[in-house]
Amino acid sequence: MSGLTRARRWLWTAPAALLIAGFAWALSLAGASHLPPADFTFNNNSEVSTLDPAAVTSVPEGRILRALSEGLVIRHPTDLSIQPGAAQSWEMSPDGLRWTFYLRPGMRWSNGEPLSSSDFAFSFQRLLAPQTASPFAQFLFAVAGARAYHAGSGPQGKPDWNSVGIKTPDALTLQLELESPRAYLLELLACTPLLPVNAKNLQQLQQRFPQRWMAEWQKPENLVCNGAYLLGSRRINDRIRLVKNPRYWDADSVAFRAIDALAVEHAGTALNMYLTGGCDWLDGSVPPMFVSEMLGREDFRPEQSPYLGLYFYRLNCTRPPLDDPRVRRALSMTLPRDLVTEHLLKAGQQRCTTFVPWGRLGSYESPAVPIEGLSEARRLLSEAGYGPRRPLPRLSIHYNTAESHRDIAELVSDTWRMALGVEVGLANQEWKVWLDSQNRLDYQISRSSWIADYPDASSFLGIFTSDNPNNRTGWKNERFDGLIARAESELNPTARNKLLLQAERILLEEVPAIPIYSYVAQNVINPRLGGFGNNLLNEQNPKFWYWKSDDELWQQRREQVGSIEFVDAPGPAEGLYSANALRAQGR
């Protein structure tokens, strides 16, 4: 037999051998990262785009960052009250223009370096620096000179950090000098963009990797943070593992040693993982088909969880016929909000006719909106010059690809056609295209939603000022701008609420957008989880979480009123408590 023939014989085994060898190699690579199970697993809904606090824009990033970093102040999970964080106390000067924060002594970063006020000053400077391109730089615009610094100009034409009112008199004191008083400054300081960043670490990495520092900075082995957890490992579209930070000042109050944040986007898969024990907390991943099955269970009580989110239709106020506020009001009056919340949504969302969801926020209450009839709407239309002889031209509702948006738009368009005789078409656009058309004001009606950054009415009302990039309706009103600006620097709560009320009245008259419904937080939580705050922002701080023991769980169940269906609560029978909690229990 010739050599070639013999070779050809082996050729058959070669592909098989290659296949098996390749499989074994890939198995070793991928299997090697098989992690032991974490104490707690939750679904973070989508892969985070970045862990840089200054660049973060959405909720999934915020959840991770609140575990990794701690700001000057934090919000309490139950009532969202401001609690000391890295700052143990603070003072405001009588005129409200100077705030002084006293940091906790002895705090350290995860690499052992002491945490000082200059770290916070550096982080705030980075937030304001134009090169950082932070979408939330305006959170610090209350500080004197900040706006100019962000715009890249200063007293001598160049940005000068010394002209900005952020001072560090000593290592444990931080002073903010504002250009006008700000009532909710503490709320802003508790937000994600204001989390600290380790200056030395970042600068070292930028020197070592001038081109690639963005890809090196957030690696688990390089990241330095000051919060309750460290970054253990990170796999895109799989999970982020957080491990307890032993150098955190309050490490004794932290119960969970390891937490996994999954990035499951598919709602059905997420629900199935929760129901089969692979996940302990879902936020908003219940497919509409199963919402009614899940209601009434112990772990799904959305009707008890109002959420500061508003679903509304933006109206392009620069194009006829929507440039006439009477037309806009007529459309808002005839929008079938009850049908939407009761027939399409079913999870306890409520109709909303005001621009602040749920109609109230803290001490602020939105003005009451009378329910008008169809005749009033038709009268407004005829006043604007439209009627049976001159019907409204065809309108279109733009929405990004999602079934819920489509259903709502279809319901609304059907109702408007029956009530006002206007033809309304639907335009489904892919997400980026939809954003683009909103930004360019290339739409008539565009579906939108807004989630509060902080629990204050200005977080919603402030969107519609003429210089706010989130306006995107082309609507401008000087009086409104003036009222909002005055409310910004008003410290007296009653006076402030009055100003905001007047501003909201303008919005309700002019209707640059049509509010539709207020959100509920659709949390599916393992009943065994303790320290989970049912709050208006659905903002969670992992440092408070723990597993309840069986005793505590049954105690909680005995105190339940009403009939609910108890479900499995997988977890350790004796619970998992922090060192402080164990000491308090006498163990």
Partner 1 sequence: MKPAAASPRWDLPSAPLEALLAKHGSEKGSSLWTQAWTRLRRDRAARWAMWFLSLVGAISLLAPLLPLPSPVAMHVDREPSAPQAPWVAPGAQKFERQYWPLSALDRQLVGLRQTLFQEWQTGPLLGSDAKGRDLLSRLVWGGRTSLAVALAAALTSLILGVVYGGLAGLLGGWADRIMMRIVDGLYALPFTFVVIFVLGLVGSSKSVAGVGREVVFLLAIGALYWLSMARVVRGQVLSLKRAEFVLVARAQGAGPLRILFTHMIPNVLAVVVVYLTLTIPSVMLSEAFLSFLGLGIEPPKVSWGLIAVDAIEAASPLRVYWWLIVFPSLAIGSVLLALNVLGDSLRDALDPRAPGRAAQP
Partner 2 sequence: MQGFLLRRAAWFVLTLWAVVTSAFFLMRAAPGGPFSAERGGDPLVQAALQARYHLDWPIWRQYLAYVGPFDWSAQGWIVGDGSRIFGGVLAGDLGPSFKYRDFSVNDVLAQSLPVSLELGLFALFFAVVVGVSAGLLCALFPRGKLDLGVRMLATAAVALPNFVLAALLILVFVFLIPLFPVAGWGDFAHLVLPAIALGTPVAAYIARLVRAGLFDALSQDFVRTAIAKGMPTRVVVLRHALRQGLLPVVSYLGPAAAGILTGSLVIEKIFFIPGTGQHFVNSALNRDYTLAMGVTILYTALVFALNTLVDVIYTLLDPRIPLEEA
Q: If binding is defined by CB under 8 A, does position 148 make contact with partner 1?
A: no
CB atoms near residue 330 (< 10 Å): 29
Burial class (CB in 10 A: 0-12, 13-18, 19+), 79: exposed
Q: Show Cβ contacts of residue 10 under 8 Å, excluding neighbours closer than 6 positions.
A: none
Q: If binding is defined by CB under 8 A, does position 570 make contact with partner 1?
A: no
Q: If binding is defined by CB under 8 A, does position 318 make contact with partner 2?
A: no
| First CA to last CA distance, the chain | 81
Q: How far is the CB of 289 from partner 1 (least distance, A)?
A: 4
Tokens of 187: 């709320």
Sole binder of partner 2 in the list 1, 106, 157, 215 (CB under 8 A): 215
Q: If binding is defined by CB under 8 A, does position 46 make contact with partner 1?
A: no
> Which 3 state secondary structure label does DSSP give 426?
strand
Nearer to partner 1, 59 or 271 (CB): 271
Q: Single out the residue of 246, 247, 218, 242 nearest to residue 231, CA to CA.
A: 242
Q: How far is the CB of 421 from partner 1 (least distance, A)?
A: 18
* Sign of the C-alpha dihedral computed for residues 555, 560, 565 and 571 taken in this order: negative
Host H or E run for residue 92: strand 87-92
Q: If binding is defined by CB under 8 A, does position 292 make contact with partner 1?
A: yes
Nearer to partner 2, 20 or 289 (CB): 20
Number of residues in contact with partner 1 under rule CB under 8 A: 34
Q: If binding is defined by CB under 8 A, does position 338 make contact with partner 1?
A: no
Which of partner 1, partner 2, none does residue 86 bind (CB under 5 to 8 Å by kind)?
none
Considering only residues 267 through 286, tell me which ones interact with partner 1, judged by CB under 8 A: 267-268, 271-272, 275-276
Sole binder of partner 2 in the list 151, 374, 491, 495 (CB under 8 A): 151
Which of partner 2, partner 1, none does residue 550 bind (CB under 5 to 8 Å by kind)?
none
Distance CA 500, CA 483 (A): 7
Q: Single out the residue of 571, 559, 563, 573 nearest to residue 297, CA to CA.
A: 563
Q: If binding is defined by CB under 8 A, does position 276 make contact with partner 2?
A: yes
Q: If binding is defined by CB under 8 A, does position 461 make contact with partner 1?
A: no
CB burial readout 136-147, b (16+ within 10 A) else e: bbbbbbbbbbbb
Q: In what order do the strands lie in the sheet with 523-525?
A: 229-234, 239-244, 258-262, 40-43, 281-283, 523-525
Which of partner 1, partner 2, none does residue 162 bind (CB under 5 to 8 Å by kind)?
none
For 394, list phi and psi in degrees, rounded to 5.
Answer: -65, 135
Distance CA 484, CA 493 (A): 14
Which of partner 2, partner 1, none does residue 22 bind (CB under 5 to 8 Å by kind)?
partner 2
Q: Single out the residue of 184, 185, 179 nearest to residue 165, CA to CA.
A: 179
Q: How far is the CB of 28 from partner 2 (least distance, A)?
A: 9
Which of partner 2, partner 1, none does residue 403 bind (CB under 5 to 8 Å by kind)?
partner 1
Which of partner 1, partner 2, none does residue 382 bind (CB under 5 to 8 Å by kind)?
none
Q: Show Cβ contacts of residue 581 under 8 Å, excluding neighbours closer than 6 positions.
A: 253, 255, 546
Which residue ranges make up the site for partner 2 (CB under 8 A)?
A: 7-8, 11-12, 15, 19-20, 22-23, 26-27, 29-31, 34-35, 47, 49-52, 55, 57-58, 130-138, 150-151, 210-212, 214-215, 217-219, 235-238, 262, 264-266, 268-269, 272-273, 276, 278, 430-433, 435-436, 439, 448, 469-470, 472
Which residue ranges make up the site for partner 1 (CB under 8 A)?
A: 267-268, 271-272, 275-276, 287-290, 292-294, 343-344, 346, 396, 401-403, 406-407, 410, 425-430, 432-433, 436-437, 442
